[in-house]
Amino acid sequence: MPAPDIQIRQELQKAFGDFNQGHPDAAQARAEAILKRLPREPNALYLMGIINHQAGRLDQASRFFEKSYKSDPKNPAALSGIGIVRLDQQRYAEAVRAFQAVLKHMPNDASALNNLGIAQKNLQRFDLAVPLFQKAIGINPRFADPYVNYGSLLNSLGEAQAARDVLEAGLRHNAGDQTLTLNLFDALVGLGLFDRAKNLIDPIFTKDPSNIEIRNRYGQLLVSMGDVDAARDVFVKTIDHHPQDAAAYFDLADLLEAKRGAQKAEAAEMRQRGIAVFNASHATLSDGTPVLVHRAAQAYEGLGEVEKAYQCFKRAQDQFKARLASIGKAYDRRATESLYDNLIARFSKQTPAAVALPDGESIPAPIFIVGMPRSGTSLIEQILASHPAIFGGGELMVLPDLIDARLKPGEDLTGLLDRLSLEQLVEIRDGYRAGLAECSAGQAFVTDKLPFNFINVGLIRMLFPKALIINIERYPLDVCWSIFTQRFSSAMLFDHDLRDIGHYYRHYDRLMQFWRGWDSSIVQIQYEGLLDDMAAGVLPMLDQLGLDWDPAMERFFDNKRTVQTASRLQVRRPIYKTSVGRWKAFESKMDGLKSELGDVLGRYL
């Protein structure tokens, strides 16, 4: 199309100037006047698209952008406008085509790369989204949006450390950006760095306490840090200001149920209100994010609506599993079986005393609490950490990090142990000692309740021959169902499918049976027995530590220490038994799980 004459060009400049100065009505009047003279003027059509998009009139915006592009196919701005409208309309496949067309004109446009990444992300094509965000960042490091989108994707996949690295890099180039900061907060919480997270969000919350995204994050942080009353106030105010936020009702219901005296009627009312809000805004389960669908599932279960709860849990877990599969992550049954086979074969050849390093003592001394997730490890730690001589370290990643730093590609733990020299084993031991000392507040003992250290029992005995190792077991169907109904980090992989969970439990049980035969000093605790007689369960542990019973342990629920696991509310309640037999309501859904568990169930009957 020929270039507009000088008068039209001047009117266009004025129209865009009006819009940029916050006067869309004046801009629209000028653009419409131009289009009366030149109905196909591409820039005026483009401006009308922008004005309508800003006003939320998406269909009209789309028509103007399409007319602009038809009038001037060499101008990618109109194509980009079409793509942005398609993102807002959640027509992601069409958005992909639009931004791909933009990139044919401008292959190094950071904004188009970022927008294409958003579209691919929403289509669950994470393997395609990630390199787009990375390329956008490489082209324009001062462009905050791709850091936000890449970091939030990593957070949603449970990759908190990777998300932290991306978001901190973004803030180095975009200091003070609030969206980057909030996503970094999410990563820090995912890593259990609550004090750092609180320091990050405190000034933002003080400045804008009514912002729903900030308020909900702050409330969840307070729960993890043990300030339940303050968290309750936050969620109540969220509901007052944002009555259409379903998650706030679910959060408040959980707090009410966890309070001593169990305000069950109030909790049930909050869940019902949250479900009503959820259903009003989601015509089908496909409309909800997997996180919110998962929260709705927990609410349905709390209300006793078994079928709806199961359907929501299944939908959410299928979505989580698909997200991980899109970036090449899936539970590998053969790898699990092979690792445990290799560990059993290796340590069958020597006794614990034969593999122990000299000078295996440590101050503070570690207490390893191992088992399956959701088996009661948090409860054991909370009780022990209420003793003045014991510091609750939580799920420490010190030992896995020391192992991972030394693994070669494709190597498992047994391969590493076969090639490590005595000096290298001492390095690992001393590195763990240093990490433990950083955690301790001066107590003689520090708990490490990373459940998956059951894999590392042999190595632990090599490094610390006298360390207390506690294995806690719980009825397998209760454990497996509880895992399925929680959301964990991406590292687990088996937790999204009941059959996979059953497979993992069976091989955990196989390995743990070997360790208990290999090392008779492992203290075995049955979760259900602990609920019946806490003192009887705890005293054998104290005996090994040379400690006496302390009255504070009986009121472990008063301990305000930070808890970052899914049991953060449960450990703030006195002993209760309502979670025992929770699986029974869903037994009709468990045929595959029972088949995977096999004869493991027979030992618990």
Residues 442-468: pLDDT tens digits?
Answer: 889 999 999 999 999 999 999 999 999
Tokens 């993890």 correspond to 224
**Could you tell me if residue 420 is inside a domain?**
yes
CATH number at residue 373: 3.40.50.300
CA-CA distance, 307 to 294, in Å (whole number)?
14
CA-CA distance, 505 to 584, in Å (whole number)?
18
**Could you tell me if residue 425 is inside a domain?**
yes
Domains in the chain: how many in total? 1
What amino acid is encoded at 194 in this protein?
Answer: F
Q: Say what the pLDDT of residue 277 is.
A: 92
- Residue ranges for the chain with pLDDT beneath 70: 1-4, 259-263, 282-288, 360-362, 489-491, 558-578, 605
C-alpha dihedral (553, 557, 563, 568), degrees to nearest 10: 140
Inter-residue contact 165 to 136 (CB < 8 Å) = no
Q: Say what the pLDDT of residue 362 is.
A: 67
Q: Which value, in Å, is the radius of gyration of the alpha carbons in the chain?
A: 28
Q: Which domain holds residue 477?
A: 364-604
Backbone φ and ψ of 441, nearest 5°: -105, 30
Among candidate residues 155, 196, 201, 149, the one with its CA nearest the CA of residue 178:
201
Count other C-beta atoms under 10 Å from residue 327's C-beta.
Answer: 19
What amino acid is encoded at 510 in this protein?
Answer: R
List Cα–Cα distances, 36 to 57, 61, 72, 355, 514, in angstroms.
21, 18, 18, 89, 84
**Could you tell me if residue 263 is inside a domain?**
no
Inter-residue contact 88 to 104 (CB < 8 Å) = no
CA-CA distance, 139 to 195, in Å (whole number)?
34
**Could you tell me if residue 323 is inside a domain?**
no
Inter-residue contact 393 to 439 (CB < 8 Å) = yes
Residues 538-558: pLDDT tens digits?
Answer: 999 999 999 999 888 887 776
DSSP assignment string, 173-225: HSTT-HHHHHHHHHHHHHTT-HHHHHHHHHHHHHH-TT-HHHHHHHHHHHHHT
Residues near 243 by beta carbon (within 8 Å), at least 6 away in sequence? 277
**Could you tell me if residue 435 is inside a domain?**
yes
Q: Say what the pLDDT of residue 304 is.
A: 92
List Cα–Cα distances, 461 to 360, 398, 437, 519, 556, in angstroms.
9, 16, 19, 9, 29
Inter-residue contact 45 to 75 (CB < 8 Å) = no
> Using alpha carbons only, what angle is made at residue 335 by residues 333 and 337, rounded to the nearest 5 degrees?
70
Measured N-to-C along each axis, helices 126-139 and 306-326 cross at an angle, to the nearest 10 degrees, of 50
CA-CA distance, 190 to 490, in Å (whole number)?
11
Q: Say what the pLDDT of residue 489 is.
A: 65
**Could you tell me if residue 369 is inside a domain?**
yes
Q: Say what the pLDDT of residue 558 is.
A: 64
Inter-residue contact 491 to 373 (CB < 8 Å) = no
Inter-residue contact 227 to 198 (CB < 8 Å) = no
Backbone φ and ψ of 369, nearest 5°: -110, 115
**Could you tell me if residue 407 is inside a domain?**
yes
Q: Across the chain, how many H-helices and E-strands are there? A: 30, 5
Q: What residue ranges in 14-60 does DSSP mark as E strands? A: none
What predicted TM-score, i.e. pTM, was given to this entire model?
A: 0.75
**Could you tell me if residue 401 is inside a domain?**
yes
